[in-house]
Amino acid sequence: MAAHRCGLSLVFILIFSSLACPSSCDALEKANENTGEKQSVSDTPREVNTDGSIAAEDLNERQWQSTDVEVDRSDGTKDSESFTAAAARDQFQEELVIRPLHSGDIYASFQFRTLWDIDFLQERQKVSHYRLFPKSLGQVLSKFSVRELHISFTQGFWRTMQWGQPFIPSPPGAELWVWFHDTVSDVDGNWKELTNVLSGIFCASLNFIDLTNTVQPSASFKPLGLGNATDHRFLRYATLPREIVCTENLTPWKKLLPCGSKAGLSVLLKSEKLFHSSFHSQAVHIRPVCQDEQCTSKAWELRQTLNVVFDLYTSSQGKKEWSLFKMFSRTLTEACPLATSSKIYVDITDNPEGELFELNPVTPLLSQAVVLGDRRTYSVFDLTRAETFGQLCSLNLLLRWKGDSGDMLRPLLHAERYVAGFGLQTGEIHTVIYNNHPYRAFPVLLMDSVPWYLQLYIHTLTVTSKSRDNKPSYIHYQPAKDRHRPHLLEMLIQLPPHSMTEVTVQFERALLKWTEYTPDPNHGFYVGSSVVSALVPSMVAMNTNFTQDQPLFSSFVPVKEESSYFVRVYTEPLLVNLPTPDFSMPYNVICLTCTVVAVGYGSFYNLLTRTFQVDEPSLPLEKRLANLIRRIRGVPLLA
């Protein structure tokens, strides 16, 4: 009887739980709607609630168009109107691109873009209502009249020969380059204050950027945003190759995102996994872009990008099987409610029939994009649709390898740099640039910024391709000034097809003042990466039209012509030992000198001035008494 009752209750529990499970998904979606409602500042929540009986998908679709659609329909008070004007002007998109690499590693690239239809300089009134755009950066832009800002923090070096080209390249350490508006009168002063403010925002020691490591490139860094005037007096570029990137830089970077690290793709950003990788780079790019297709007005674009390459052996224990949980120790449960689009792209170009690897869950959405001169096919997971998350309300992409991938196509442009020579007096910097295209030649612009303590001898500069001299068509050289300015060398070199070009220059190492050495001078001194910028011929026609629907990773660099694409390659930074004095030397010298002086001088003085006197032995008692009487008498004394 009791067992029968138990059995019945068990059945009831099972039925109940099976009813509860699907409805929990609905509850989650309803929660999403609720948060979505809260974001749109309107007084029509009642309207949406009555529609709740409609299929959840429809509601979600309507929701994921920009929330201002509902806001416009409201005929609220004056307050909501003022919020309408500001709220409708910014939008947020997020995307993640996963690209399996031939070496077995996997490359994940996050891009978060906030587009804000406002002009910081034209609006005479101060901008005071920030919604998705972070206020700290907005204030920085308006205070320092910044036209474009690009800052990146990188740990590790991008291996072009093994991994191909990254979507957004960056050199090891910290790199900052800024275009100021032409209304600025004191660019250097603004630059100095800007670096200090950014060092506070990103918890990095960017305040070490000063005039000794800032250069003004004359042709290398053109603005990536809208604009006509390109007077290079308003450009400043600096790198800190020694800068360490760790969780304290990731934390403020995550706080700039509209959803923080609470929802959407940014929940995957766990520092313990991200920093246990071969390459980690986080960057912030701010520039003015076209607001629409006609391009009559400007909008501000803030892109936060995070590129990470997970190593096959450290993160996956040698097994060629990757999943979101393995890479990031988390799965995805929802898109960011503030995002108009939230997508994951998985590169399946090398896997057309599914013979190389297997992708779970399967998605019907496919997309093709021309990026980096190649047409690639992607499986698209749209996180704004509920069915992407499936039954378990969580998305965990799984890539399982079945076969071995062949050799990778060699990248068309590749560069290396190293220091040659011996001793602590002189040396030679060799920069090697490879053009792997079989029949096309193209020009590259090489920019080198060398600190003043490596004194370059420019008369020893040689550029050779295929063992013949290759004269650059443009050279800009600014010599260094001790303790004021670094060397800047920019050259436009034509690379012959299928060749290796070598640029060598000799240098001499300077002896620094003893207070200028770092606390660990025997580690060496860093020289920042060289930048090689080139327009590489493309195998596939590039897309020159600007459309809003392009995925973020293919629309970063503006494309002007179809036959080539712009690429930037960074070389390795150099670690050079300068002649280092022995810092314990003063102490040792003082001890030794004082000892020598005390011992040597003391003996010497005695030798010169000491006189010897014969000491009289003491007289016996009766002679002393006799002497006493004689002294009284005034008669000469006994001996």
Residue numbers 359-398 binding another protein by CB under 8 A = none
Between 401 and 442, whose beta carbon lies closer to another protein?
Answer: 442
Between 361 and 558, whose beta carbon lies closer to another protein?
Answer: 558
Between 56 and 203, whose beta carbon lies closer to another protein?
Answer: 203
Closest CA to 215 of 422, 484, 485: 485
Residue 130 interacting with another protein (CB under 8 A):
no
Interatomic CA distance for residues 67 and 339, integer angstroms:
10
Site for another protein in 301-330 (CB under 8 A): none
Residue 584 interacting with another protein (CB under 8 A):
no
Residue 98: both structure tokens together: 């996963």
The answer for residues whose C-beta is within 8 angstroms of residue 539's C-beta and 6 or more apart is 373, 374
The least distance separating another protein from the CB of residue 504, rounded to whole angstroms, comes to 23
Residue 192 interacting with another protein (CB under 8 A):
yes
- Taking CB under 8 A as the binding criterion, the range among 100-108, 340-348, 468-476, 623-631 that sits at the site for another protein is 468-476
Question: How many amino acids of this chain bind another protein (CB under 8 A)?
Answer: 73
Strand ranges, E, within 15-105:
90-100
In b/e form, how buried is each residue of 569-602, taking b as 16+ CB within 10 angstroms?
bbbbbbebebebeeeeeeeeeeeeeeeeeeeeee
The least distance separating another protein from the CB of residue 9, rounded to whole angstroms, comes to 42
Closest CA to 505 of 624, 597, 419, 591: 419
Site for another protein in 489-528 (CB under 8 A): 492, 518-520
Residue 473 interacting with another protein (CB under 8 A):
yes
User: What number of CA atoms fall less than 13 Å from residue 356's CA on the CB side?
Assistant: 13
Between 519 and 636, whose beta carbon lies closer to another protein?
Answer: 519
Closest CA to 168 of 372, 417, 445: 372
- Taking CB under 8 A as the binding criterion, the range among 273-281, 367-375, 409-417, 424-432 that sits at the site for another protein is 273-281
Site for another protein in 81-120 (CB under 8 A): 81-82, 85-86, 118
Site for another protein in 202-261 (CB under 8 A): 203-205, 207-208, 218-219, 222-228, 230, 242, 244-248, 251-252
Residue 430 interacting with another protein (CB under 8 A):
no
Sole binder of another protein in the list 38, 73, 129, 623 (CB under 8 A): 129
- Taking CB under 8 A as the binding criterion, the range among 104-112, 295-303, 386-394, 497-505 that sits at the site for another protein is 295-303
Query: Any idea what the Cα angle at residue 319 is, between residues 315 and 320, rounded to 5°?
Result: 95
The least distance separating another protein from the CB of residue 122, rounded to whole angstroms, comes to 7
Between 248 and 355, whose beta carbon lies closer to another protein?
Answer: 248
Sole binder of another protein in the list 50, 53, 296, 606 (CB under 8 A): 296
The least distance separating another protein from the CB of residue 300, rounded to whole angstroms, comes to 13
Q: What mask of x and - would describe binding to another protein in positions 436 to 465, judged by CB under 8 A? A: -------x-x--------------------
Between 280 and 417, whose beta carbon lies closer to another protein?
Answer: 280
Sole binder of another protein in the list 23, 24, 34, 196 (CB under 8 A): 196
Residue 290 interacting with another protein (CB under 8 A):
yes
Closest CA to 339 of 25, 130, 28, 39: 39
In b/e form, how buried is each residue of 8-23, taking b as 16+ CB within 10 angstroms?
eeeeeeeeeeeeeeee
The least distance separating another protein from the CB of residue 420, rounded to whole angstroms, comes to 25
The least distance separating another protein from the CB of residue 496, rounded to whole angstroms, comes to 16
Between 158 and 202, whose beta carbon lies closer to another protein?
Answer: 202
Site for another protein in 135-154 (CB under 8 A): none
Interatomic CA distance for residues 573 and 204, integer angstroms:
19
The one-character DSSP state at 224 is S
The least distance separating another protein from the CB of residue 85, rounded to whole angstroms, comes to 5
3-state secondary structure (DSSP) of residue 418: strand
Closest CA to 266 of 330, 319, 212, 350: 330
Sole binder of another protein in the list 73, 484, 560, 631 (CB under 8 A): 560
The least distance separating another protein from the CB of residue 14, rounded to whole angstroms, comes to 39
Strand ranges, E, within 43-165:
90-100, 106-116, 146-155
**Residue type at 35 in one-letter notation:** T
Contact indicator for 357, 400 with CB cutoff of 8 Å: yes
Contact indicator for 84, 56 with CB cutoff of 8 Å: no
- Taking CB under 8 A as the binding criterion, the range among 41-49, 426-434, 448-456, 557-565 that sits at the site for another protein is 557-565
Closest CA to 515 of 596, 440, 583, 453: 583
The least distance separating another protein from the CB of residue 195, rounded to whole angstroms, comes to 9
The answer for residues whose C-beta is within 8 angstroms of residue 391's C-beta and 6 or more apart is 25
